[in-house]
Amino acid sequence: MASAFEAKKIESRFDVRTYIDRLKYLLQKGDNNVRIIFQRDRKIDDTRNIKHTNRYTIMALFPNEDEVEALKRELLTIDVDDYIETVRDKRYPDRSEMRVFGKKYIEKDVYIKIRVELLSNIASSAGYDYLYVMSFHFAEESFVKTNFPYRQEQINENIEK
């Protein structure tokens, strides 16, 4: 859903790969200076079908699991072919851009939007890097190949080998 507050772009394959590599390093480094913040309930959920909310999706996909640990595990599986777009929230120009990915779980598309705020980018007396998971919910509309700028490219590369 397009918003007047968002500026969207498609990053290069190299930039997406670099972002994912850094994300995985952040998730795997195993120190206590990384905080994963999951936006379980969002204001937009008040008007959305419950089946397309973060809370519902996490409960449906990962029942009886710690949601942050489940998200950490799942974010480690993201790859370039899951990338959809990069979004800048114009209301908060000092915050980092959000990356949007899409994956399939139990034959349903899941929309994933994350933002990484590194210590060097924000004023934080606590001294943490933050990974914000704004969206991890069943998609309101099914994904199509054209949602993924590098998925078709990857298919073509495999055919040429």
Q: What is the pLDDT of residue 88?
A: 93
Residues of the chain with pLDDT under 50: 1, 121-123, 125, 155-161
Q: What is the pLDDT of residue 16?
A: 97
Q: What is the pLDDT of residue 161?
A: 42
Residue 131 lies inside a defined structural domain of this protein: yes
Total structural domains within the chain? 1
Q: Which domain holds residue 84?
A: 6-160
Helices (H), ranges, the chain: 13-28, 54-61, 67-75, 151-160
Q: What is the pLDDT of residue 8?
A: 95
Contacts of 159 (CB under 8 A, 6+ apart): none
Q: What's 44's domain CATH number?
A: 3.30.2310.40
Q: What is the pLDDT of residue 17?
A: 97
Residue 67 lies inside a defined structural domain of this protein: yes
Q: What is the pLDDT of residue 74?
A: 96
pTM recorded for the entire structure: 0.86
Contacts of 100 (CB under 8 A, 6+ apart): 83, 84, 85, 86, 87, 111, 112, 113, 135
With vertex at residue 114, the alpha carbon angle to CA 32 and CA 36, rounded to the nearest 5 degrees, is 20
Q: What is the pLDDT of residue 127?
A: 63
Residue 1 lies inside a defined structural domain of this protein: no
